[in-house]
Homo-oligomer: A and B are copies of this chain.
Amino acid sequence: MQIGMIGLGRMGGNMVRRLRDGGHEVVGFDMNPESGRDVDSLAALVAALDAPRVVWVMVPAGVPTESTIDGLKSLLDPGDIVIDGGNSKYTEDRAHAASLAEKGIRFLDCGVSGGVWGAERGYALMLGGERETFDHVRPLLETLKPEGEYGLVLAGPVGGGHFAKMVHNGIEYGMMQAFGEGFATMMRSEYIDDAAKTMVSWREGSVVASWLLDLFENATKDDPELRDVPAVANESGEAKWMVEAALELGVPTPATGAALYARQASRGGADDVLRVVTAMRAQFGGHVTKVDEIATH
């Protein structure tokens, strides 16, 4: 079927290719003239599509998504469908849906997992919105998703797609932290000769077999001790939202929280905490507080 794609970056661009390979007609637009776009404005994109139009927004969350949805609201007709496939927070989706509904425009939010591998493997897609709208765009989703029975779900009402993706990413944080803790423990132990090789052996037959472990093999193939990887990890926001959402729901998420905290600490977030600890220890015990002394204790 026909679709307009807004945002032709790494994710959007790959998705366009997968959609076209699947026989769909895609009209692509991006602010960047070098993006290989088919049209050079939102208006041109809308004009190039047949009603009821389907427009997939694949731009950064926040202002870019806001302004794109505002622009589409003024251009689209009742019955058209906007899908936000970016990383918007689930709470924003309701506002977007309500705004578009004022003009009778339908809305779906879609969490997309799969990273750079999705182009080939297919993307795991989580949708939020009306069943009828979901069914209308299903041919597109079937092409984007992996082959087989998994990888596509209508998770709930508007916001449900991004909520599911947020939870998905929180789980991903916890899993990566768990693998990291295991690797780090083995790296320091005299009982283990090769931590990476040991972990990689678990790819088959073991309870921890997983796609993340498959990726771990790639990562350690040429650098089994990960010496070229910095001991710093960034956070993308979604796990933080999940921990916050769970807090509000009264659900303790200590493992997800631990994963998040480890990353924040790696970026200096715990520095003032540690200063207090060391300052107090110095007061009551005459403990070491100077950096140069610490090196020898």
Q: How far is the CB of A169 from chain B (nearest CB, A)?
A: 8
Given the complex of chains A and B, what is the CA–CA distance between A194 and B156 in angstroms?
8
- Name which residue of chain B comes closest to A197, CB basis: B153
Query: Would you call B202 and A279 a contact (CB within 8 A)?
Result: no
**Does A216 contact B181, Cβ atoms closer than 8 Å?**
no
Say yes or no: is A234 at the interface (Cβ < 8 Å to chain B): yes
Binds B, one of A35-43, A57-65, A66-74, A247-255: A247-255
Q: Is A98 an interface residue (CB 8 A)?
A: no
Q: Is A164's beta carbon under 8 Å from chain B?
A: yes
Q: How far is the CA of A179 from the CA of B246 in the complex (A)?
A: 13
A284 touches B115 (CB 8 A): yes
The SS class assigned to the A binding surface is helix
Q: Name A293's closest neighbour in chain B (CB-CB).
A: B230
- Chain B residues within an 8 Å CB radius of A167: 182, 185-186, 198
- Is A126 close to B, CB under 8 A? yes
Is the pair A280, B185 in contact by a Cβ cutoff of 8 Å? Answer: no
Quick one: given A192-B155, A218-B283, A254-B257, are A272 and B183 in contact (CB under 8 Å)? yes
Say yes or no: is A271 at the interface (Cβ < 8 Å to chain B): yes
Q: Could you show 27 A-B contacts with beta carbons less than 8 Å apart?
A: A113-B202, A113-B208, A124-B201, A151-B206, A155-B198, A156-B198, A160-B193, A167-B185, A174-B181, A176-B277, A176-B280, A177-B273, A178-B256, A179-B276, A182-B242, A183-B272, A184-B273, A187-B272, A209-B211, A212-B280, A212-B284, A216-B283, A234-B278, A247-B260, A251-B269, A254-B261, A257-B261
Listed in ascending order, the chain A residues whose CB lies under 8 Å from chain B are: 10, 90, 113-118, 121-126, 128, 145-157, 159-160, 163-164, 167-194, 197-198, 200-213, 215-216, 218-220, 226, 229-234, 240, 242-291, 294, 297
